[in-house]
Structure 1
């Protein structure tokens, strides 16, 4: 299962990033140009958060079966001193969970705002914060924290 779930999680990351970027750019543009909040904007807000939640579920599933995480939990004293092990056992999962919470709060707050400008502003700010957290915690190929391929194949 791990050999299929890891590439799936890797591929869906690109959908998460694309959805967040589109939502942020659309939100910022509409906020600055005083556009009306439409059903399409609401769907974009909703589906961006939904894609992120799907990725979270896959990530939690992956966390529960990962040999790296298993090693980290079973050998915590040693694992916490090993960069790659600590990153996947603790840092990546915690930061991504925080990012999902931030985006979810932003989505809920934007949904409840009364004016279009408030909806776009709220969505743009909270989604941007979530994106920054995600970007800081993805194991990019060039990351000084730990690196993994940008695309994993099945």
Structure 2
């Protein structure tokens, strides 16, 4: 068995950890921001898990992108030019990885800015805004079932 189906399976399922942890963390951060709540150890723990899920997902995606997947410019004979001309290849070769990299950066920036803040409300606000941007980008970049480049929501082997 090749590594491609295993890494693709993991990448497909870790996405749900990113989505669920992101939504939970965003809800908690928004409540903390609007309610003036203290920044707790639970907030920090959820933040670490959420950012770690983003990191794991990006690592799996980069393994796919760097040669395992047949949909990336590295895997194509024609390279980048061929990818741009075909919508599915453009999505998986350029749009999806670019948007997800930006989402990862937004999550990390929100986390870093929240850790530097002195006031709990400012911590929650920085984390909420970073996550809001990150989760918006994730929502745009997931190949949702039903789209022309869509993939199954729950992939099996």
TM-score (norm 1): 0.94
The alignment yields a C-alpha RMSD, in angstroms, of: 1.3
Higher relative contact order (CA closer than 8 Å, sequence separation 6+) = 1
Give the corresponding residue for 1:80.
84
Give the corresponding residue for 2:153.
150
In structure 2, list runs of 5 or more residues that go unmatched: none
The question of 1:95 aligning with 2:99 is answered yes
- Cα deviation per residue 1:65-105 (whole Å; 9 max; x = unaligned)? 21121344643323211000111111101110011011101
Give the corresponding residue for 2:13.
11
The question of 1:67 aligning with 2:81 is answered no
Structure 1 runs, 4 residues or longer, greater than 3 Å off: 70-75
Distance 1:33 1:71, change over 3 A: same
> SS at 2:100's partner residue?
helix
Superposition deviation, residue 33 in structure 1 = 1.2
Partners in 2 of 1:73 and 1:118 — Cα distance? 50
CA contact (8 A) 1:72 1:89 kept: no
Give the corresponding residue for 1:28.
30
In structure 1, list runs of 5 or more residues that go unmatched: none
Q: 2:137 aligns with which of 99, 108, 133?
A: 133
- Equivalences, count: 153
- Cα deviation per residue 1:35-79 (whole Å; 9 max; x = unaligned)? 111111111112111110011101101111211213446433232
